[in-house]
A and B are shown apart, each in its own frame.
Chain A
Amino acid sequence: MDFSVTELEEKFRQENYICDEGILVPVYLALKLKKPLLITGAPGVGKTEIAKVLSKILGTELIRLQCYEGLDENKALYEWNYQKQLLHIQAGKNSSGEIEDIFSREYLLERPLLKAILKPYQVVLLIDEIDKTDAEFEAFLFEVLSDFQVSVPELGTVKAREIPVVILTSNGERDLSDGLKRRCIFLHIDFPSPEKEAEIVKAKVPGLGTELTWQLVRCVAYLRTELALKKKPSISETLDWAEALLILNAERMTEHLVEQTINLLLKDKEDLDLFRDKGGAREMLRKV
């Protein structure tokens, strides 16, 4: 990787990912120091998007491991294709011929981690929502990420030819282990300022007028800061709202428009009730 922070910023901008040094420098350091990057933040702030943008900038494949509760080594690393093996054994018995090795690569189901290790070129490995797994899986992952080699008893030890760029994301639902955190470059993405969010909206939804864009981001800022919401609207919801206003040919923010479209921002009944209790669209437009 042969570019500076400024050049990286330009490449991110070309992919329509608007961010400042607070985000760029940790990404840059993860690439330079060849360390995993752990990104935390509320859902919808752009954590997964960084991995996608990086894979485009580096011109390489993105391999994604989507984590969930109950994910284990078999689903993350490899599994034998038992059905195929059984069928082969059955077929071998019937023909009375020799049964070929059923523990060869042909019968190996490569899951994302093994795929990333076996690639002959550097890939971007995205381990999404690591906080949904349990501590045991985390310990296993930690071991794999330290050495980038895997032992398959029947095939031997497989070592990565090119260390992948590893991005881990977390919604912060639970504390991750100190061992994992200490070995990663850490980045927390918070909600952007209205100015930054306006830039993002202009880049992603360019058809919306400047005045309406500003009203939109100020409304979102009001919701985030003035109301004690259970779930604050994320950047992706801001963009959804911007696209909805574009489709509705809105020219400026009105109470009626806000009432019609507020469900794009507030996805919880309690939050909607709170919004209305605090004066609803009228109060919001008065304050912004």
Chain B
Amino acid sequence: MENYLENNIVRFVQVLRSLGLKIGTSETMDALNAIKSIDLTEKKQFHSALKATLIKDAVHYPLFDHAFREFFVEAPRRESQVAEEGAYAQGMAEAKKELEFQENNLDLDQEYFDMYGRLPQESRERIKEFLRKTSEGKNVTPKFKPVVENVIKGALEYHRSHADLPQVLPVELTGIEEIDAVLHRIAHNQDLGDLFFQNMASIEEKDYQEAAVLIRKLARRLATRISRRYQKSAKIKRIDVRRSLRAGIKYGGTLLDLKYRQKKVQKPEILLLCDVSGSMIKYSRFTLQFMSGLSEVLPRMHAFVFADTLEKIDLRDFSLTTLTESDGWGEGTNLNVALRRLRNEYPGILKPLTVLIILSDTKSLEPHLAAEQLKKIRQKIKEIIWLNPLPGDQWSKYQTVGLFRRYSTMWECSSLAHLAGALRKQLG
């Protein structure tokens, strides 16, 4: 696309969408119309105009501001940014050249080249050495290329999950280098300060209080939504004759003010199961805080934590650190043990109105046995919601995800935005 302002705005909208913001064509049209009405030489007016037309929730403001700063760069900084973008494009080209098998480029998605480009030099050398030796191996033909590609993907995934590659924000790369360079900068900027979209695992201790304030606000909004959903509605069309007759007395007996039967609705009983093993503990901490904020509107809520055993907790007063540092808590996850204990020791909790919410990355020992337990539980309760911190585009790589998805509705849940969105769709 040529560099006209309108095209830049369309590209900017693409950046925002890749960052997870839902922006439709009508909002884009509003933004294009808005910039015709303002003074384009005034950057603040330009910024406010785009914000007012593209963003419809204040929690998205910090992310928008950050994306705006990185995309619409002023002249003094533009030179260094062009140099950065050039370096990024060069880095991508080098990555593609280095990841070759028998002089053919590996067929990988853009995000893998991006991951490779961000690896420490030592890790890159190891991968290059592996590719060189494999390419030169005895009896190795080009037919091995798909196998080699899968090995490289696995290696890069391993590096991603073991924190060689810190990523603050999940983004969806577009394959357009100019846009991906901006996304890359935004996604890896530790000073973003937007806790709503940030990966929960990367929230630092100094930001816990701010995160707690945000969680309280989100929980309050969802609580109001849940409360209204389960209120008796006046729109149900069954007439309550007795009440209508009583109301008609003031009109001389004429039935002008009809009253309706109010359907009794029951709120679900929530059973929360949080994985607190290893890297899951931060996700569980914030999820438990969030659910605690809903406890007023969902009074019949029970919470448990599990790793290789199961423990009931009080949502109003819990300390994950104390719990997981105590004896008997290991680093691994065994959902089978946890679910079996739940069924045996707390059978009264599993009722037809129960909604089971599990927070876990599905990486459990004895997964097939765990799936069997889940199947038996599913038959007794209303539904199972699974909150999975693994990125959605990687789920196909994990057999356990497919196994547990048979009995649950699974949602990606690595950020507070994901958590609030999933619970809103399921409970609100």
Contact = CB atoms under 8 A, between A and B. Distances in A.
Contacts of A35: 30
B225 A174 contact: yes
B97 interface: no
A207 B204 CA distance: 46
Given A33-B34, A86-B254, A25 B58 contact: no
Contact of A33 (B30, B224, B225): B30
Contacts of B49: 25, 29
B251 A4 contact: no
Interface string B219-254: 011101100100101110000000000000001101
A183 to B, nearest CB: 8
Nearest to A4: B39
B33 interface: yes
A175 B424 contact: yes
Contacts of A172: 58, 221
Contacts of B141: none
A188 B52 CA distance: 9
Contacts of B424: 175
Given A70-B234, A72-B234, A174-B225, A187 B56 contact: no
B52 A26 contact: yes
B37 interface: yes
Interface string A27-66: 0110011010010110000000000000000000000000
A228 B213 CA distance: 8
Interface string A127-154: 0000100111000000000000000000
Given A29-B49, A29-B52, A21 B44 contact: yes
B124 to A, nearest CB: 44
Contacts of A181: 56-57
Interface in A178-193: 178, 181-188, 190
A112 B235 CA distance: 22
A185 B53 contact: yes
B55 interface: yes
A82 interface: yes
Interface residues of B, number: 40
Contacts of B428: 175
Contacts of B235: 136
Contacts of A228: 209, 213
A188 B58 contact: yes
Interface in B203-223: 209, 213, 220-222
B45 interface: yes
A25 B48 contact: yes
A85 to B, nearest CB: 9
B256 interface: yes
B45 A5 contact: yes
A173 B224 contact: yes
Nearest to A25: B48
A22 interface: yes
A136 B233 CA distance: 10
B24 interface: yes
Contacts of A187: 52
Contacts of B326: none
Interface in A96-135: 131, 134-135
Nearest to B213: A228
B251 A25 contact: no
Contacts of A24: 48
B30 A86 contact: no
B27 interface: yes
A220 to B, nearest CB: 18
Contacts of B57: 181, 186
B37 A32 contact: yes
Interface string A151-182: 00000000000000000000011110010011
A275 B16 CA distance: 40
Contacts of A21: 42, 44-45, 48
Nearest to A27: B52
Contact of B251 (A20, A32, A82): A82
Given A5-B38, A26-B48, A86-B252, A174 B224 contact: yes
Given A181-B56, A186-B55, A188-B61, A25 B252 contact: no
A182 B45 contact: no
B269 to A, nearest CB: 23
B37 A182 contact: no
B26 interface: yes
